Amino acid sequence: MNSKVIIFDTTLRDGEQALQASLSVNQKLQIALSLEKCGIDIIEVGFPISSPGDFKSVQTISRKIKNSRICSLARCIEKDIDTAGEAMSSSDSFRIHIFLATSTLHMKSKLKKNFDEIMDMSIFSVKRALRYTNDVEFSCEDASRTNIDNLCRIVEKLIKSGVKTINIPDTVGYTVPNEISSIISNLFERVPNIHKSIISVHCHDDLGMAVGNSISAIQAGARQVEGTINGIGERAGNTALEEIIMAIKIRGDILGVSTNIKHKEIYRTSQIISQICNMPIPSNKAIVGSNAFSHSSGIHQDGVLKNRKNYEIIEPSSIGLKEVKLNLTSRSGRAAVKYYMDKMGYKKTDYNIDELYVAFLKLADKKGQVFDYDLEALAFINRQQEESEYFSLKFFSVQSISNGLSTASVKLLCGANIHTESSTTSNGPVDAIYQALNRITHFPIILQKFQLVAKGKGKDALGQVNILVEYENRKFHGIGLATDIIESSAQAMVNVLNNIWKAKEVNKQLKNLKNFNKS
């Protein structure tokens, strides 16, 4: 049996259906190009009969994609099939994907037809699609709830009519791994011409088993898996393709199959799709979540620092990530603290690890997460200085006009002195405040990330602003929390300014210490 698993991506069709707003043609093209670069075998780019916009997207993508095969969806309706063929006509090779429900539930309650009528519609539609391409895929919608005798009958007829790929969808995420394995095994045992077609699976995640079901189907003989990047899609979503791909790569010893995927493109592709689709990736998402390669437990951090394989089965670099992330929290041990101090270039003789660790735990309990510049401040700044912040926002005023200019005035306490400054900008009130603060501090800050999160509901809800800035090739985090999002934005920047000031104080003290030692 062929050991290559074909990866069929339906992010632009099934995935896009679940988005709050439709994607533009250019956005869809950008996603398609990223999927092609990742090595996806089949890209289902749309349902062209559904709208003129989708037709145009399919047409545009068909002209641009050269290394992946383009596919479009069609119902068992002549106009659907003709439109799909027309939309992809500029592509050198393409696939038409036809679907029709085969379960008793769908036939009776949705289609009002019997199984013989379903068979006739299916065969007629396949013949129609073969006028445009010799690559036709047929999906037996709701296959996992279809009578197995009926499923075997229609699969045999479809293959005989020229279908190259038969898809067995778990349309509503109803089945469990041993069931879908049994369905695939039955097809291989009972359909005499099964070897003339590729068996595919398209699993949904309503019970959280889409990936598990797809892996079980592979083990039973399926050689195409359909899904989406990041698992986006109808209801609870689709099979997350990045999880399938990495499961095949890491557990090749028991699965015995492979893919054509360029693994180092996985993380980049995931990020592109998340941003374009406005679908944030959960931090605990397997493979591509922000915590997928993060370690907070002191025991785990120590183990990873000694040998990453102790607690990581996947090398971050294998999916395009450059570094492992050790979170500094109250659960962290001395090993993580020492790791960050070493990373910043400090020798163990530069500080007392025991004293630093005690101070670190106190700050971690108070702050939640600690960063490398916090460690510097704890290690080298006088404890009294540590308790007080150098910068403090005393007053701010903002005037803003829609589609016009925004003006901000601020009063900032800098040590013992109060400074006042104002700024006018066309980029909104937050930018106006940030520019005014920058005029006071003169720190050449580059804002890299701005995130607003609602805490609570109703009029008393708090707006938490998290920002990430770059200053002198170093990253600094800031957090602000207030009912007024402008105020929380200002607090976040002041938080950053204090972190930068502490880092600068550390540098001054270390320089003074070096000069003293020289003398």
Name the binding residues: 14, 202, 204, 238
In the chain, the amino acid numbered 23 is: L
**Which residues sit in the known binding site for Mn(2+)?**
14, 202, 204, 238
On the 0-12 / 13-18 / 19+ scale of CB atoms within 10 A, 210 is buried
Count of alpha carbons within 13 Å of 502, Cβ hemisphere only? 27
E strands, 142-242, are: 165-170, 198-203, 224-227
Name the one residue in this structure whose structure tokens are 């088993």. 209
Q: SS3 sequence, 429-489? A: HHHHHHHHHHHHHCCCCEEEEEEEEEECCHHHCEEEEEEEEEECCEEEEEEEEECCHHHHH
The CB density around residue 292, as the number of other CB atoms within 10 Å, is 19
Which tokens go with 298?
């002191």
Nearest to 321 by CA among 333, 310, 312: 312
Cα–Cα dist 90/126, whole Å:
21
How remote is the C-alpha of 222 from its chain's centroid? 26
Cα–Cα dist 435/429, whole Å:
10
